């Protein structure tokens, strides 16, 4: 019995690891497309779009892993946004362009669009049907989530300036 379990565990662990890696890759690929799509919406030049895709995939993948590890969503978002912002300022000097040119498009896949609209639609429902506990709870919860994740994204992107560059210009 004991020997049997001992023989099976590595195989199971391997299976779990492979599943995790596949899910991670799927998550990164699915995040890269909107990063490029919104990069085009923001008229990021073609030569820089690859950075949007790459950083978008890295950011969303990193947040995916952090959320899996049980990190709260706003903390995971803050860490992911900071990470790509540091990569961004490093590449910005080479590109001779401000990092925000491509890092904002890269964090778009992490923008809490559904909570933001859920809050607004629920507020409209509260006006129409009168306040009930369920509607108020939904409005407050989704609104707070949208607020904290957007704040985490913006502060994460500003992190190199706040911590390292301070009063010096990045580019």
Where do contacts with another protein occur on this chain (CB under 8 A)?
Answer: 27, 30-31, 33-34, 36-46, 48, 96-98, 100-102, 104-105, 107-109, 111, 113-114, 116-118, 120-121, 124-125, 150-151, 153-155, 157-158, 161-162, 169, 171
Name the minimum Å distance from CB 105 to another protein.
8
Q: What's the token pair of residue 22?
A: 């596949």
Question: For another protein, which is the closer residue by CB, 67 or 71?
Answer: 67
Name the minimum Å distance from CB 16 to another protein.
20
Entry field: residues in the chain:
171
Distances from the Cα of 23 to the Cα of 20, 28, 78, 152, 166, angstroms: 5, 9, 22, 24, 38
Question: For another protein, which is the closer residue by CB, 3 or 107?
Answer: 107
Location of structure tokens 């709260």: 72
Name the minimum Å distance from CB 154 to another protein.
3
Name the minimum Å distance from CB 69 to another protein.
18
Q: What's the token pair of residue 73?
A: 């969503």
Question: For another protein, which is the closer residue by CB, 2 or 168?
Answer: 168
Summary count for the chain: helices (H), strands (E): 6, 0
Separation of alpha carbons 70 and 165, rounded Å:
31
């Amino acid at each position: 019995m004991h020997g049997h379990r001992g023989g099976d565990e590595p195989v199971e662990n391997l299976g779990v690891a492979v599943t995790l890696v596949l899910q991670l890759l799927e998550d990164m690929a699915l995040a890269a497309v909107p990063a490029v799509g919104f990069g085009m919406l923001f008229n990021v030049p073609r030569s820089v779009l690859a950075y949007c895709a790459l950083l978008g995939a890295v950011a969303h993948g990193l947040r995916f892993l952090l959320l899996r590890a049980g990190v709260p969503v706003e903390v995971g978002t803050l860490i992911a946004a900071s990470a790509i912002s540091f990569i961004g300022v490093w590449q910005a000097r080479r590109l001779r362009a401000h990092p925000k040119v491509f890092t904002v498009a890269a964090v778009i896949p992490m923008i809490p669009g559904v909570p933001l609209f859920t809050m607004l639609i629920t507020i409209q429902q509260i006006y129409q049907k009168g306040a009930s506990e369920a509607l108020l709870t939904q409005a407050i919860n989704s609104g707070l989530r949208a607020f904290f994740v957007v704040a985490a994204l913006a502060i994460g992107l500003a992190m190199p300036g706040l911590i390292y560059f301070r009063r010096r210009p990045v580019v």
